[in-house]
Each structure stands twice: as structure tokens, then as C-alpha cells.
Chains A and B, each alone.
Chain A
């Protein structure tokens, strides 16, 4: 049973490494730039889009990729498109 578990985990890890998509490092966010242009705080932006201040900070510093829903909410808040707010290398 243990060997079966090991083989399964190994296969999953191998598969994951082959099909891995863009990572956090590949996504550049303009959230900080757009927020500064609007002259609002991280807390104000966070409450406007319904997340915590820490999440806005994590997005701005590249530690967190927002979901599609949150990305759309952020883009709508700034009056732009998702692609204008988030840039993915490629």
C-alpha cells in the first residue's frame, strides 16, 4: 500500500511539473500603479472589491495571483480591462 502511494505521488508530481502553467513570477500586476494614480489606500481598494487589505498587498507585491473573478472586479474598479491590469509573459 505504501509503495502504491509513493508511486501515485511521484507520478502526480512528474505530471504537474510537465504541465505547469504561468507562475506567480510570470504575472505582473499594475494594481499598485493604478491605485496610486487614483490616490486611494490599500484598505479602501480592498473594501471596494470585497477582499482584505493583506490580499491587495499580496497582489501588488506579486505574492498572490487573484482569481478571475477578483481580477475582473479589480479591472472594473479601475475602469480598464483585465489585460491592462495584469500582464502575463508570453
Chain B
């Protein structure tokens, strides 16, 4: 067995035959079912948007699984090939979380200043508290987990 054969064996063992990761499978399934529900309820615009999102996400995932795909393509498509892809994704999502908390706080302050309607104000409060709680729980979990 040549080195390349051994590598291909390791690669095929690492990546099952299903054309996309479990996360992408769930996302595509949720978008497809969601679009069907929207069409049944007569919400054709939302249904079309969800359907296009599902198709785009699925095609992106399949495209990113090619052997010649780049690391940025894989990370963007949630199709991580190795530990470096996962490390980059963790840092990227951490940045998204930090920005979400800042924007959530900004939205809450803005809604209080402009005396927005109660639904908007409460949704801002719930969003900000949920993000903060998620942050503290995640910190607790990962510090304990080591």
C-alpha cells in the first residue's frame, strides 16, 4: 500500500459517504420542511426564501466536500476537514457571539431611549439576557471541562 493509498483510506474513514456533515443535513432538512410549511400556509415569499436557502446551503456543503476545496470554503460551509478548520470556525463563531452581545446591548439601549413598543423592548431584553446567560453557561462548561 502506497502512502497515498494509506492517506485515501484515512480520508474515507474520516468522511462518511453522506455528502454533507450532520449539521448541514439538519440545516437543509429544517429549511426544506420550513419552506413546505410556509407554502402550505400561503407564505410563498418566506417559503421561497427558505427553499433557496436550503438549496444553496446543500450545494455549498457538497461543493466544499470536494477534495480540491479550499479551507475558507470548508469553514464557510460548515464542512470541517480537520482540527485547523474547527479551530478557525470556533474563533469565527466566538467573534459572531461577541458582536451579537454588543449589538444586542445597543439594540436594548436604543429601544429604551426611543421608547419602542413593549414587544420590541421585551424582545431586546430577552435577547440580551439570553446571550449573556449563554455566555456565562458556556464559560462555566468549558472552564470545568478544561
Q: Give the interface of A toward B (CB within 8 A).
A: 1-2, 5, 40, 44, 46-52, 54-55, 58, 64, 66-67, 69-70
A55 vs B10: C-alpha distance when bound (angstroms):
16
User: In the bound complex, do residue A52 and residue B85 qualify as a contact, i.e. CB atoms below 8 Å apart?
Assistant: yes
| Contact sample, A vs B, 5 pairs, CB 8 Å cutoff | A1-B128, A1-B129, A1-B132, A47-B3, A64-B87
**Contact count band on B:** 20 to 34
User: In the bound complex, do residue A70 and residue B83 qualify as a contact, i.e. CB atoms below 8 Å apart?
Assistant: yes
Q: Which residues of A contact B14 (CB under 8 A)?
A: 50
Q: Which residues of B contact A70 (CB under 8 A)?
A: 82-83
User: In the bound complex, do residue A55 and residue B84 qualify as a contact, i.e. CB atoms below 8 Å apart?
Assistant: yes
User: In the bound complex, do residue A54 and residue B105 qualify as a contact, i.e. CB atoms below 8 Å apart?
Assistant: no
User: In the bound complex, do residue A47 and residue B4 qualify as a contact, i.e. CB atoms below 8 Å apart?
Assistant: yes
User: In the bound complex, do residue A52 and residue B8 qualify as a contact, i.e. CB atoms below 8 Å apart?
Assistant: no
Output the least CB separation between B85 and chain A (Å).
Answer: 7
- Chain A residue nearest to B5 in the complex (CB): A47
Number of A-B contacts (CB under 8 A): 57
Q: Which residues of B contact A5 (CB under 8 A)?
A: 101, 105, 132
- B74-96: CB near A (< 8 Å → 1, else 0) gives 10000001111101000000000
- Chain A residue nearest to B109 in the complex (CB): A2
A48 vs B7: C-alpha distance when bound (angstroms):
4
User: B70: CB under 8 A from chain A?
Assistant: yes
Q: Which residues of B contact A64 (CB under 8 A)?
A: 84, 87
Task: Specify which of B10, B71, B128, B129 is in contact with A52 (CB 8 Å cutoff).
Answer: B71
- Chain A residue nearest to B101 in the complex (CB): A5
A52 vs B3: C-alpha distance when bound (angstroms):
15
Output the least CB separation between B8 and chain A (Å).
Answer: 6
